[in-house]
Amino acid sequence: MDIELSGKKILVTGGAGFIGANLCEVLLHKKNTVICLDNFSTGKRENISSLLENTNFKLIEGDIRNLEDCMFAASGVDYILHQAALGSVPRSIKDPITTNDVNISGFLNMLVAARDNSVKRFVYAASSSTYGDSKSLPKIESVIGKPLSPYAVTKYVNELYADVFGKTYGLETIGLRYFNVFGRKQDANGAYAAVIPKFINQLMKLESPIINGDGTYSRDFTFIENVIQANLLSLIASEDAVNEIYNVAFGDRNTLIDLTNSLKELLSEYNPKIKNVEVIYGPNREGDIPHSHADISKAKKLLNYNPMFSLSEGLRESIHWYWKNLN
């Protein structure tokens, strides 16, 4: 999908992170001026190294927990794509205070910076974790349960704050509830690596991936290109679409067993031995939602969102990238 968006000055917080760096790249390609704000706590310099020589790209090393950094970065920008956050359910369970500081206090700082700098629109990364213990499927934006982790609490509070800033200060906000995003530039190492890059990395090394639980938990895995599309559409959407929350996913669900089998099948095209790697099953992970499947009809209707990449298509592209960059 070709989305017309050029000649704007756009701040991407967490711009050296997985999603943020991909957004920076696409926005620059579309001839926009891009400001990247990152403290490199989870973002990586190599994600944006190819952008540093672009005269339309500016890196600000700063922390969203510092209001002065937020105000400086937001000065004179048209739009903010707020991707900065401390992700991972297990990390939030281990360290709820830092997760709260970054995801709530930092988020509030960015809202204030957007308001005080008269930013036209504030689009932010929300999360499917907000659905919590709700058992209804597919997930509809208006039906949520109680959060199952500190991380989920923080992402729900973000939505509440954005709603209040819309009503109280007239700030245009759009929240995008991401569902298990994966793709190029996503960290494959570390204790909090997401399941797809982690499993790809392990299988490439002929190591056994560990599935949490019996493998029947399911997810609406969402390729990065679909997420980029949703962000760009949010920037150009009509005023009827603002101050709303949208599911961003493909609109399908696959079990962890399905995922692992697909990864082994696709990776075996590069190394046939991968097909014979055994999978290990471990205990369920605390704070995990059993099933995740998004209803994306609201985003289709109000944002003209039309996800182009299924899980299998996204996996094929991701594996090609990891094979080239991790080998």
- Tell me the catalytic residues: 151
CA 210 to chain centroid, in Å, comes to: 23
Q: Where are the alpha helices (DSSP H) in 237-282?
A: 256-267
Phi, psi at residue 34, to the nearest 5°?
Answer: -120, 125
By the 8 A CB rule, do 171 and 229 touch?
no
State the Cα–Cα distance between residues 176 and 242, nearest whole angstrom: 11
Angle 207-217-91 from CA coordinates, rounded to 5°: 70
Q: Cβ(127)–Cβ(155) under 8 Å?
A: yes
Spatial distance between the Cα atoms of 216 and 258, rounded to a whole number of angstroms:
9
Q: How far is the CA of 130 from the CAs of 168, 173, 212, 245, in angstroms?
A: 23, 17, 21, 11
For the chain, first and last CA: distance in Å?
32
Residues 6+ apart with CB under 8 A from 17: 38, 42, 43, 44, 47, 83, 84
